[in-house]
């Protein structure tokens, strides 16, 4: 029995993995290779492992007891690097002569302080960047720093984690957009709904649930209100599309402007109430002082950022929804042929309403992640997100004509967009120049989508022609 039940599971896993590769994996591989080639740089490691290695090198150069000066910049990464050095030295009994978290001027001041107190510096432990500072080089003590090596900046673990983390909100919205595009629709309001959800969560947390003193339950309620408002916006779009036969492009374009305006009105109104009515201009964000509000966007579990965990959880849930439930089959049926689906008993109107509502809810969740990451709701957040989201879905293999596409493909498509954006940032491409790249990417993806049926038809005719035999 175990073999019989296990075989279908293994078969499904193989089909899923092969689908990932066949659908968009090759495209992602090409993008990763190009980004890696474009970001080939000299790497100067500043990690905990590098710090431990520096501590061992110091003990080889200067056996304990050895007065060591630890020099790093004042950043979180540098401090973790310095802490690893100090732990390694402490385990060997090597005393720390001093610590510098700052700039070259701070190194000079620390060396002067050590000299005034009659101390000495037998070795300086630092990284490659600080080892080039003038006071470090002229200190007269051996300088120990991790060696450099050449490797693509894109493929460094920190950058890969940052790529996924910073684009988790795009991937989350792309889930909802996939459902809409599968029904041959489009939703241009997702970026504005993201902003509206974040602002509503921040304003209600401040004004209804105690602001900086808000309890976790109050913050959760504020976040749920933001998601509910975005879902209601999606339901409004679905109603316009189904009940009044408004084209999805027009309906969601109107909601895009409506939601953005409401986000700005709420943010400005909160600012005026906060300062007594004399505020001018639009606030950058409605701040929430409660530390727990930032947990979702900035916290982590076992070193994995929370936005990534939320994104993966939602992708698994969406994949199961679309492949294991009647609702998923209904969505594909409506996208393939709505009239045939209706005649087959599919509740087309209910499916479309649910799809647009879910799309709004996913945008709202992304808005909560954004507000948590920036510790406040930003009324201008999510601008032009709809373009990146549509690009992610189409690049992932979904057809704008509806009826074709997969959640797994959307995940890869979102990663392709993230990789391209990260590679452009590392290469120093300006943000306005990046818009040209993403615009061209959308056009290319749509063109490929339109050409695929013709290519498939021509290939089928060629196969039939090559396999047919002449009649004797």
pLDDT in tens, 201-239: 999 999 999 999 999 999 999 999 999 999 999 999 999
pLDDT of residue 323: 94
Q: Is the pLDDT of residue 259 over 90?
A: yes
Per-residue pLDDT, averaged over 301-327, amounts to: 96
Quote the CA–CA distance of 363 and 226 in Å, as a whole number.
10
Mean pLDDT lowest among 15-24, 271-280, 441-450 = 15-24
Task: Please answer whether residues 203 and 262 qualify as being in contact, where contact means their C-beta atoms are separated by less than 8 angstroms.
Answer: no
> Which fold does the domain 48-147 belong to in CATH?
Rossmann fold (3.40.50)
Task: Please answer whether residues 53 and 87 qualify as being in contact, where contact means their C-beta atoms are separated by less than 8 angstroms.
Answer: no
Q: Is the pLDDT of residue 5 over 80?
A: no
Provide the residue ranges of all domains of the chain, joining segments of one domain with +. Answer: 48-147, 159-450
Give the pLDDT band of residue 472 (cuts 50, 70, 90): low
Per-residue pLDDT tens digits for 37-67: 878 888 889 989 999 999 999 988 887 678 8
Strands (E) in 363-407, as ranges, are 376-377
Per-residue pLDDT tens digits for 75-86: 989 999 999 999
Task: Please answer whether residues 172 and 365 qualify as being in contact, where contact means their C-beta atoms are separated by less than 8 angstroms.
Answer: yes
Per-residue pLDDT, averaged over 153-168, amounts to: 90
Q: Is the pLDDT of residue 453 over 80?
A: no
Average pLDDT, rounded, for the chain: 89
* Helical pair 385-395 and 431-467, crossing angle rounded to 10 deg: 20
Assess whether the region 48-147 and the region 159-450 belong to the same CATH fold. Answer: no
Per-residue pLDDT, averaged over 150-160, amounts to: 87
How is residue 219 written in tokens? 């913050």
Q: Is the pLDDT of residue 144 over 60?
A: yes
Quote the CA–CA distance of 125 and 308 in Å, as a whole number.
35
Q: Is the pLDDT of residue 1 over 50?
A: no
Task: Please answer whether residues 118 and 94 qualify as being in contact, where contact means their C-beta atoms are separated by less than 8 angstroms.
Answer: no
> Which fold does the domain 159-450 belong to in CATH?
ABC transporter involved in vitamin B12 uptake, BtuC (1.10.3470)
Going by C-beta distance under 8 Å and a sequence separation of 6 or more, which residues neighbour residue 161? 304, 305, 308
Q: Is the bond preceding residue 65 a cis peptide, omega within 30 degrees?
A: yes
Quote the CA–CA distance of 66 and 412 in Å, as a whole number.
52
């Amino acid at each position: 029995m175990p073999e019989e039940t296990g075989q279908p599971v293994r078969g499904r896993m193989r089909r899923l993995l092969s689908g990932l590769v066949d659908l968009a994996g090759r495209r992602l591989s090409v993008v990763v290779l190009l980004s890696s080639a474009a970001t080939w740089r000299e790497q100067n490691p500043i990690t905990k492992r590098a710090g431990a290695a520096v501590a061992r090198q110091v003990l080889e150069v200067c056996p304990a007891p050895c007065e060591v000066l630890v020099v790093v910049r004042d950043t979180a990464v540098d401090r973790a690097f310095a802490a690893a050095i100090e732990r390694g030295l402490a385990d060997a009994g090597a005393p720390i002569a001093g610590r510098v978290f700052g700039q070259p001027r701070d190194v000079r001041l620390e060396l002067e302080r050590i000299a005034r107190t009659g101390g000495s510096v037998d070795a300086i432990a630092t990284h490659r960047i600080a080892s080039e500072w003038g006071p470090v080089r002229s200190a007269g003590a051996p300088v120990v720093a991790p060696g450099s090596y050449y490797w693509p900046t894109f493929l460094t673990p920190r950058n890969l984690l940052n790529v996924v983390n910073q684009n988790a909100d795009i991937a989350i919205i792309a889930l909802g957009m996939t459902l809409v595009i599968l029904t041959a629709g489009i939703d241009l309001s997702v970026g504005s709904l993201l902003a509206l959800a974040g602002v509503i969560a921040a304003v209600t947390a401040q004004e209804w649930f105690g602001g900086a003193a808000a309890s976790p339950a109050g913050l959760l309620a504020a976040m749920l209100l933001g998601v509910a408002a975005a879902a209601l916006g999606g339901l409004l779009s679905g109603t316009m599309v189904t009940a009044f036969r408004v084209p999805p492009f027009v309906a969601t374009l109107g909601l895009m402007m409506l939601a953005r305006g409401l986000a700005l009105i709420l943010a400005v109104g909160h600012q005026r109430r906060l300062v007594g009515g004399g505020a001018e201009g639009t606030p950058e964000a409605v701040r929430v002082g409660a530390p727990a509000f930032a947990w979702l966007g900035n916290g982590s579990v076992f070193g994995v950022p929370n936005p990534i965990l939320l994104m993966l959880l939602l992708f698994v849930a969406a994949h199961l929804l679309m492949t294991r439930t009647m609702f998923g089959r209904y969505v594909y049926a409506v996208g393939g042929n709505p009239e045939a689906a209706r005649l087959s008993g599919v509740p087309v109107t209910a499916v479309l309403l649910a799809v647009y509502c879910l799309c709004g809810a996913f945008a709202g969740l992304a808005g909560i992640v954004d507000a948590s990451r920036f510790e406040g709701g930003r009324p201008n957040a999510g601008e032009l997100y709809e373009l990146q989201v549509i690009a992610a879905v189409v690049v992932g293999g979904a057809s704008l004509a509806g009826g074709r596409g997969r959640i797994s493909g959307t995940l890869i498509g979102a990663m392709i967009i993230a990789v391209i954006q990260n590679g452009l940032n590392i290469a120093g491409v300006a943000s306005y120049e990046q818009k040209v790249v993403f615009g061209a990417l959308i056009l290319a993806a749509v063109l490929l989508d339109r050409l695929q049926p013709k290519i498939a038809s021509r290939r089928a005719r060629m196969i039939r022609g090559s396999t047919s035999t002449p009649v004797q």
